[in-house]
Every structure is written in C-alpha cells, then in structure tokens.
C-alpha cells in the first residue's frame, strides 16, 4: 500500500500513526498542540520516536463533542498540514468526516483521509477520496447501539462503508478499516471487539486500531487520560497479535518499543 511517497506492508509490520490534535478541547491533550510552533515540535518529536504517519485532527470527537463549522476546522488544520508537508518527509493523514475539510487538506498535501464515519456522514466524501487517489481509513460508527448480532453487525457496517467507497471509485489498495473502539459501543462491547479483532481480517483489508488513552482503558484501570499509557500499550500488543496493520497513538515511543518487541517474538520460530 502506497501512502504518500512511502510503501507500507501492513501484513508484515504494524505501523504507527502519531496523533496531532490541533484542538483546544480534545479529551487527553486539548490545547497542547494548537499553535503552529508547538505542533511542529511535537511532530518532530513523534517522527524521532518512530511515527510512520502523522494524523492531524482539528475537531475533537470525544463523547459529547460539538461539531465545528467547516471553515473553522479548515482554519485549524490547513496551516499545520502545509507546515508539516513543507518541513518533514512523512505521510500526513487528516482526521475529518467532512468533504469540504478533506478538500482543503488535500490541497495542502494530505496523503490519507481518516473518516470516523466511514463515508456515511457526508455523501460527497467517498467521491472526494476517489478523485484524489489518496488512501482512506474507514472507521466503524453508527448513530445507535441497536445491535442484533454485535460482532457480525460491526463487520457488516464496515462492509457498507467499503461498498460506498468502492461505488465512488476508491480502489481496494486505497482502503484501511478501523473497528471504531470507543464509538457507538458500550464498555463491554469495546472489550469484546478487542478480544475478536482477528475477525476484521476476514474483510480483506488492512486495519488500524485506535485505542489510545480511551475510556475503555480508563474504566478498566480507573485512571485519568494522562495515565493510560500502559493500558494503551497492552491494546497495541493485542492488536499486533491479532493482525493490526496500524495503531493510532498519542505516545509514540512507548508503543513503538512494545510493537517491536511483540513482532520480534511472533517472528521467531
């Protein structure tokens, strides 16, 4: 899979997507990186620590978040994307579910669109991705938790996202899936999905695991977001063991070391 100028082999190695929230209100690091100089320093740090992709987000999607107007989101992310693109040689992902924001990001050099609604929120998103030729990450999400057969329903929902993308002309080798840990799922359902991540491989696409500092970890360990590094590492290790091709994390260095150790064990016969 080609993302930007780099070739990724997610069936052989788990890559790290470093989170760069340029928001004042993200649940774990709101306000820390929403100035250009601090954003660039943090990007440089994540690259040094082993990030393979930088994921820029301008709207917090924490529980109960307030949707931003398109232009406000664009004003937050566009200068950061342009600066990363001009200063660093690393693929850039844009975390948005809005086609107007995606277009603005693509104009600044984005290599991947990371859509938490899997092309189901904005009817124009799939065609924007297809016409650009960039890769996309389609996450599982829905407006309700009315599951009849939970694990099967999650897989079917992801199949719907893939169908939407492909109808618009997105190629198979441009698609990454995301099980959507923390979205439209109870605490117990998040744990159950974590324990059955291998089912995602049946869909035929690489998948990204995004659990970093999420409430599933906080509820399990009774810890605030700032103290969930070890819990996140545990989920990354499980992800590697169950075939994840990417993990999206805040704490790059710690997760990179854990992934490297896990892969070495799994590759040694």
Known catalytic residue at 185: no
From the candidates 201, 248, 253, 257, which is the catalytic residue? 248
Torsion angle of C-alpha atoms 94, 213, 218, 67, degrees rounded to 10: -20
Cα–Cα distance for residue pair 156/150, rounded to 1 Å: 10
Structure token pair of residue 201? 């491989």
Q: Which of 76, 214, 242, 253 is catalytic?
A: 214
Residue 182 Cα to chain centre, angstroms: 12
Q: Which residue has the tokens 């002309």?
A: 169
Active site residue 87: no
First to last CA, the chain: 27
Confirm if 98 and 122 have CB atoms less than 8 A apart. yes
Cα separation, 140 vs 154, whole angstroms: 7
List, by residue number, the catalytic residues: 214, 248
């Amino acid at each position: 899979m080609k993302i930007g100028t780099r070739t990724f082999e997610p069936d052989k190695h788990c890559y790290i997507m470093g989170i760069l929230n340029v928001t004042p209100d993200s649940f774990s690091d709101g306000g820390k990186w929403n100035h250009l100089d601090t954003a660039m320093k943090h990007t440089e740090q994540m690259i040094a620590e082993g990030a393979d992709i930088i994921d820029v987000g301008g709207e917090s999607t924490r529980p109960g978040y307030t949707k931003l107007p398109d232009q406000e989101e664009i004003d937050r992310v566009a200068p950061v994307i342009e600066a990363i693109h001009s200063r660093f040689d690393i693929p850039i992902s844009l975390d948005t579910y809005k086609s107007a924001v995606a277009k603005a990001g693509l104009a600044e050099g984005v290599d991947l669109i990371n859509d938490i609604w899997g092309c189901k929120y904005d009817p124009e998103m799939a065609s924007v991705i297809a016409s650009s030729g960039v890769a996309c990450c389609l996450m599982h999400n829905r407006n309700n938790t009315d599951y009849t057969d939970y694990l099967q329903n999650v897989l079917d929902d992801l199949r719907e996202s893939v169908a939407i993308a492909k109808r618009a002309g997105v190629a198979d080798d441009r698609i990454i899936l995301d099980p959507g840990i923390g979205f439209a799922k109870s605490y117990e359902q998040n744990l159950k999905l974590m324990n059955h991540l291998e089912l995602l491989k049946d869909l035929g696409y690489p998948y990204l695991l995004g659990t970093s500092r999420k409430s599933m970890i906080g509820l399990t360990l009774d810890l605030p977001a700032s103290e969930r590094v070890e819990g996140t590492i545990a989920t990354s290790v499980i992800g590697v063991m169950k075939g994840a091709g990417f993990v999206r994390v805040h704490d790059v260095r710690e997760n990179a070391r854990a992934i490297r150790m896990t892969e070495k064990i799994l590759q040694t016969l």
